[in-house]
Structures are given as C-alpha cells and as structure tokens.
Amino acid sequence: MPFLFAGENIYEDESMKKFSKWRNLAAFTIFLSVLTIGFLIFKQQYLSALVVAVLVVLLMVSFYGFWRSLHRYGLQTEVDISRVLGRDAKEALDFGNIGILTYDSDYVVTWQSPYFEQNGMHLVNQKLASWMEETKTLFSDEVDTVTGKYEDRVYEITRKADAQILYVKDITELYNLRAANNRNEIVVGILELDNYREYQNYEGEELLAKINMHLRGPLVVWAKKNGMLIKKLSSDRFFVVLNKQIFDDIKAKNFSILQEIKDRATDLDVSITLSMAFAYGTDDFVELDDMVNQLIELAQSRGGDQAVIRSANGTVQYIGGNSEISSTRSKVRVRVMARTIEEAILQSNEIYIAGHIMTDFDCMGAALSMSSWAQALNKKAYIVLRDVARDAQLQDTMDHYRESLRERHHFLTPDQALERFNKDKDLLLMVDHGIPSISSCKEIIPLANRIVVIDHHRRGDSFVKHAMLTYVESTASSACELIVELLQNVSSHVPIFQSEATIMYLGILVDTNRFQMHTDARTFEAAGMLCVWGANSTVAERSLREDFTRFTLRNTLVQLAKPYKEDFLIVCYEDGPIDKTILAQTSEALLKVKGCKASFTIARADKDGFPTAVSARSDGTYNVQKVMEKLQGGGHFSAAAAESSNMTPKELKKALLAAIDQEEMV
Ligand SMILES: [Mn+2]
C-alpha cells in the first residue's frame, strides 16, 4: 500500500526488497481489519469497531516505525572488529590503515570495519560497484587486486580468495608519488633539420633567412611551447631536455611537428625535413647521451623525416617518415647536391677519382663522367683505375673506345696516384663504393682530408668514416643514374660523348640486370638521357655478348647443377680455375629454373693458390647471406659469396650442405 509510506522512497532500496513479503502481509492484515471494522459498523457494534480500529492503527504505527528503523540502520550487525579478530589484529589493521569489507552474493556490502566510518564512508547495504566502479573487474576478470578512486583518494582493493572479504588500503600518497616520478623522468633528445647545411652553404641569404624564419624558428617555438629546454648545438642541430610527461604528450600527438616542418618546407620549395631522437629510461646521463647520439644517426641513415625513440631497456621505435623513402632524393636535393659537389671540386686543386676493384661498367661510367665534370670546371682530373682488376667485358668496351677515351681522360695506377696526391689540397672522389677496403685508392683514403662519396650501395659499418660529403642513395639503381641526374643540374656545360654515355648506359643496364631490378621511372629517365647524349645501344648490346669459351664454360657449369631439398640448385666443379664472374653468372642463370629459391656455384677461383669459392644467389625469398656467413663469407640477402683456401670444391660443398641444413633447423 504505497500511501502508507508516502514520502518515503524505501522502495528504491534494493536490500529492503527481501522484506517486502512481510510488508505485503501487514498491508493485507490492515485490509482485512478494515473489512472487519466495516462489518462491525454494519452490525451497529460501534464500540468493538472503535477498539479494532485503535488496535489496527497501533499495529500500523508500530510496523511503520520498525520498518523505518530497519531501513535507517540497515542490516548492519554491529560487530566490533576486536571481537572477531582479537585486539592485536585490530591494532595492526589500524596501524596499517587497512579496512575490511564483507559482501553477499549480490555484491552488496554486509559489513564494514570501523576504518570506513573513520574515513567518512558508509558502505553497508550499498552495492560495491556503486561505491567504486573498478571493483567489477575483481569479480569479472581473474584479478585479485584493483586500484580505484573514490572522492580524490586512491584505494587498492584486494579480494580474499574463497571468501567474500575485501581488504581496502588507501594508497593515495604512493600513487601520487609514483605518478610524479614517472612524469618527471628525464628524456633527452636531439632535433636535426635534414639538408639544412647544404642550403646554408650553397643558397643565398634571402632563402636562408626564409628557412630560418619558417622552419628553424617554428621548431624552437614548438620546443619552448611544450616546456622543453632547447639549446643549439650547431646551425642545424638542437639538444633538448624534457620530462616524460611532455614526451608522452608530443608522442600522443604523433610528433606533429614533423609534418608541420615538412609542410612549411614544401611551401618554401626546399627539401628540408626534421629528424628527432629521444632517449630515456635510465638516470645514467652518459648512457642517455650515447643512446641519443646513436638514435639521431639512425634517423638520418633511414632518410630523416622521422622520430626515433628508445627506452634504455626497450627496443628502438620509429615514428613518422610518412614520406616515401625516395623523397630524400627530391629534385631539389639533387640540385643542392650538384651544387655542393661542384663547390667541392672548385675548392680543390686536383681531382682523383677512385673506383672499386673488379671495376664494372657502372663504376667506370661514373668515373669517366666525374672526370668530364671536373675538367669542365677547369680542374685536372685523374681516374685511378689503371692496372686495377676489371671486368672482362668492360675491358673489351674500353678497348673499343680506346682512342677517344685517351684523348679526354687521364688514367693513373694507384701507386702513381699515391705519389702525386696532396692530402690537403686535392679531392678524392669515391664513386660506386664507400668502403675503403675495396677501393682502388685504399692507401690514399686514410691520408685524404677531402673525400666525396657518390654511391648507390646501402651504407654499412665499414663505410668510410671521414668523408667531407657523401651522396649515398640506395634507392637509385646505379651510380651512373645518380650522376646523370647531377649533371642535369650543374651550371656549366659538361660534355658527354658517345663513349662515356655508352659505358654509363651499360652501367645502368648491368646493375639493373637489364632493367629487371631496382628500376623505377628515374632509372628510365636517366637511361633516356644517356641515349640523348649519344649512348650507342648497338655497341652496348655487343659489349654484353660473351665470347665462346665463357659461354660454353657457363653452360657446362649449369649442366652440372644438382637439386638439393627441392628448393636449391648446387653446382660443384672440380676442375678450374674459373673466374668469379662466371660463378656468379652461373648462379644467376640457375635462378631462372622454376621453383629454385637459391643457387650455389662452387669451383676453384682464379686467384693465387686457387682458393675454392662459392657464389650464392637467391630469388629474394631465401637469405643466402646467412648461409654464406656460416662459411665465413658475406654479402646481401639475395647475393652473397664465400671462399676457402684449404677446402677442395667437394669439401666446400659438404660444408655448404651442412650450413643449409643448420639454417633450416632454426
Ligand atoms: Mn654500381
């Protein structure tokens, strides 16, 4: 009977529901009593009716009073904790500031220890979840401890297994300290504007002022706005110190400054991007310094335009770099590079051009064109490739163009070059390689103070350390492709004749395996340009023909191929010696066989003492580098080699099979 309890909202109280049948019985009794009174009045027995009415009212009042006090004081059974646990336990709980709750199967609190009362919480008859949302996970997930907030305080709540008891502890101070500690953790960083120096050296004051205003300025403002300490290390590098909270903020925004700088650079039509490195996770400042320096190098070597971050005990993370990898070779960068190299040539006395040993078309083409460029700038240029081992087909082509090449270029042996070279005034130009050990000028490199590298191979550990300028673009097919682009961006006219153009064209042709590998639109553009400059494709095709002996020798080797484990083809040739180019060509030829993932050709090589060599090639799905490393060799994922001075071809084959098996076990 709702009217009985008008103004009371006890219906809303869940825990009272279980008593509602008694309330309904009371209401039914009252209803019967009213009927009885009505009947007595009808029988004109007024006195009895009055007595019954008074009794009913009394009953009603006493029931209502009982109901209210039951509601108000709830079902709490006032149990002193010391009676349950003993005095010592109570004191221990008080000392540890720990509260205890019990709850029923509906997750309603049935009892609370005095701790809660002392802290202003009245939880009895309340649902646990309405007190603290986080307790739900205690029961739904298999966790025993949760942390939750209630009115500015943080509590840790532990569930006792197999009993409906919770231990509650106020950890607000600890929580705040921990959070503050995390926020205040030191993060150090380096910000670097990629390519900035090139603009600084070779562009006018006007553009540089614009770059400073629109790129460098906003970068400093961004750092300061985010509360970092920023100090200039050099014109293009900044050192920043920040805390973890600031770091997390800028990381959450995905280092938006990267995009901002890039957009602004696009507006200015300059190819400047931002590289960032951040290190944290240790309070050892020396370690942080080392880490951040390595990270910025990493960002640079990956093409810039990205943030590289690492926690002391974590792995390196890369963020950004949304632009395609090739974007580092923007047309603007090519133009800037062309000017930079031109400047380096002009500021030098004589120019020495180094290639790699076992000189190929690409290397020679690059050397010849650089020689033409330097001479166009009125410099004496020497190609240090005389008496350096070279590819047989290259030799034939050089012989074909002997007269015209001799007229325009000066060749020196490495010894002659070493004698003449002035380490402070002369420039050493390394083309198609960046590794001193394979250079035709490996004796000059340690002395030279002015070194420029133009290469298309991936930069490795053994890369020359003290180069003044490096133009290494692994996205380019060949050194000749890079140089064709550079030559289109120089101010002076560089004469390129048929002989140079044809050899450069052959360089692209061989390095791309006839436009089958590493070829993109810019490769074709470069090849097209070379045709415009007079490259003779008939001579080029003829140059790539083999002589009969080599042709039959290679076919003999191919016929010796034996399959191994379905995926591999292996050639083992007992006689010899055989030139390593043929070994490589044999392996390459075998890759044309359907289903062949990797091929290996073993024979005695044409070296003193005839060491045994193996040349490995893969179709790109199998790592031959790893296999060759097991044989103390090396190379790349899809092209590698190894040698042995004490094994016969048969023994080397056995070692190779073992290496393949071992690789498969992993
Ligand atoms: Mn090359």
Could you tell me which of 210, 208, 253, 245 has the C-alpha nearest to residue 228?
Answer: 245
How are the residues of the chain apportioned to helix, strand and coil, as percentages rounded to the nearest 5? 50, 20, 30
User: 511 C-alpha to center of ligand 1: Å?
Assistant: 6
pLDDT digits (tens, 9 = 90+) for 549-593: 888 888 999 999 999 988 999 999 988 788 888 888 899 889 889
Residue 390 · residue 363 · CB < 8 Å: no
**Main-chain phi, psi angles of 568, to 5 degrees:** -120, 150
Amino acid identity of residue 504, one-letter, is: M
Q: Where are the beta strands (DSSP E) in 538-597?
A: 562-564, 568-572
User: 624 C-alpha to center of ligand 1: Å?
Assistant: 20
User: 479 C-alpha to center of ligand 1: Å?
Assistant: 5
Amino acid identity of residue 338, one-letter, is: A
Judged by DSSP in three states, 515 sits in coil
pLDDT (0 to 100) of residue 9: 42
12: how many CB neighbours lie within 10 A of its CB? 8
Alpha carbon 199 to its chain centroid, in Å, reads 28
Q: What Cα–Cα distance (Å) separates residue 182 from each residue in 120, 156, 241, 371?
A: 31, 19, 15, 59
User: 468 C-alpha to center of ligand 1: Å?
Assistant: 21
User: 422 C-alpha to center of ligand 1: Å?
Assistant: 28
User: 400 C-alpha to center of ligand 1: Å?
Assistant: 22
Q: Which two tokens stand for residue 593?
A: 């066989």
Q: What Cα–Cα distance (Å) separates residue 309 from each residue in 240, 245, 281, 383?
A: 14, 15, 11, 43
User: The domain 184-320: what is its CATH number?
Assistant: 3.30.70.270
User: The domain 331-543: what is its CATH number?
Assistant: 3.90.1640.10
User: 209 C-alpha to center of ligand 1: Å?
Assistant: 39
HSE of 438 in the Cβ direction (CA atoms, 13 Å)?
A: 15
User: 434 C-alpha to center of ligand 1: Å?
Assistant: 11
Q: Which two tokens stand for residue 560?
A: 């010796």
Cis omega (within 30 of 0) on the bond before 495? no
- Sign of the Cα torsion 85, 88, 91, 93 reads negative
User: 456 C-alpha to center of ligand 1: Å?
Assistant: 7
Residue 397: its H or E element: helix 392-400
Q: Specify which residues 278 forms β-bridges with.
A: 189, 309
**Main-chain phi, psi angles of 197, to 5 degrees:** -60, -35
Q: CA-CA distance, 471 to 369, in Å (whole number)?
A: 16
User: 457 C-alpha to center of ligand 1: Å?
Assistant: 7
pLDDT (0 to 100) of residue 111: 85
Alpha carbon 647 to its chain centroid, in Å, reads 42
pLDDT (0 to 100) of residue 474: 76
CA angle at 57 for the pair 54 and 62, rounded to the nearest 5°: 125
User: 421 C-alpha to center of ligand 1: Å?
Assistant: 25
User: 540 C-alpha to center of ligand 1: Å?
Assistant: 17
User: 355 C-alpha to center of ligand 1: Å?
Assistant: 10
| DSSP strand pairing (410-411 vs 634-635) | unpaired
User: 364 C-alpha to center of ligand 1: Å?
Assistant: 9
CA angle at 306 for the pair 304 and 310, rounded to the nearest 5°: 115
The helix/strand count (H/E) of the chain reads as 27, 23
Question: Which residues lie below 8 Å from residue 247, measured CB to CB, with a gap of 6+?
Answer: 187, 278, 280
pLDDT (0 to 100) of residue 610: 65
Q: CA-CA distance, 83 to 303, in Å (whole number)?
A: 73
Where do we find the tokens 């064209």? 505
User: 180 C-alpha to center of ligand 1: Å?
Assistant: 55
User: 99 C-alpha to center of ligand 1: Å?
Assistant: 75
Residue 430 · residue 401 · CB < 8 Å: no
Q: CA-CA distance, 544 to 565, in Å (whole number)?
A: 34
Q: CA-CA distance, 25 to 29, in Å (whole number)?
A: 6
User: 239 C-alpha to center of ligand 1: Å?
Assistant: 38
User: 330 C-alpha to center of ligand 1: Å?
Assistant: 21
Q: CA-CA distance, 630 to 663, in Å (whole number)?
A: 9
User: 388 C-alpha to center of ligand 1: Å?
Assistant: 16
Q: CA-CA distance, 32 to 52, in Å (whole number)?
A: 11
Residue ranges in the chain modelled with pLDDT below 50: 1-12, 78, 322-327
User: 455 C-alpha to center of ligand 1: Å?
Assistant: 8
pLDDT (0 to 100) of residue 526: 94
First and final CA of the chain: distance in angstroms?
79
pLDDT (0 to 100) of residue 623: 83
User: 473 C-alpha to center of ligand 1: Å?
Assistant: 11
Alpha carbon 15 to its chain centroid, in Å, reads 57
Q: CA-CA distance, 665 to 588, in Å (whole number)?
A: 26
The DSSP 8-state label assigned to residue 658 in this structure reads: H
User: 363 C-alpha to center of ligand 1: Å?
Assistant: 6
pLDDT digits (tens, 9 = 90+) for 460-512: 667 888 888 888 887 788 999 999 999 998 888 899 999 999 999 999 999 88
User: 31 C-alpha to center of ligand 1: Å?
Assistant: 106
Q: CA-CA distance, 496 to 188, in Å (whole number)?
A: 50
User: 458 C-alpha to center of ligand 1: Å?
Assistant: 11
- Kindly report the average pLDDT of the chain as a whole number: 85
User: 423 C-alpha to center of ligand 1: Å?
Assistant: 26
Q: CA-CA distance, 361 to 394, in Å (whole number)?
A: 6
User: 605 C-alpha to center of ligand 1: Å?
Assistant: 23
CATH architecture observed for domain 88-180: 2-Layer Sandwich (3.30)
493-515 burial, b at 16+ Cβ within 10 Å, e below that, comes to: ebebbebbbbbbbbbbbbbbeee
Options 2.40.50.100, 3.10.310.30, 3.40.50.720, 3.30.420.40; CATH for 548-665 is: 3.10.310.30
Q: Which two tokens stand for residue 591?
A: 């890759």
Q: Specify which residues 642 forms β-bridges with.
A: 614
* Residue ranges covered by each domain of the chain: 2-85, 88-180, 184-320, 331-543, 548-665
**Main-chain phi, psi angles of 150, to 5 degrees:** -145, 115
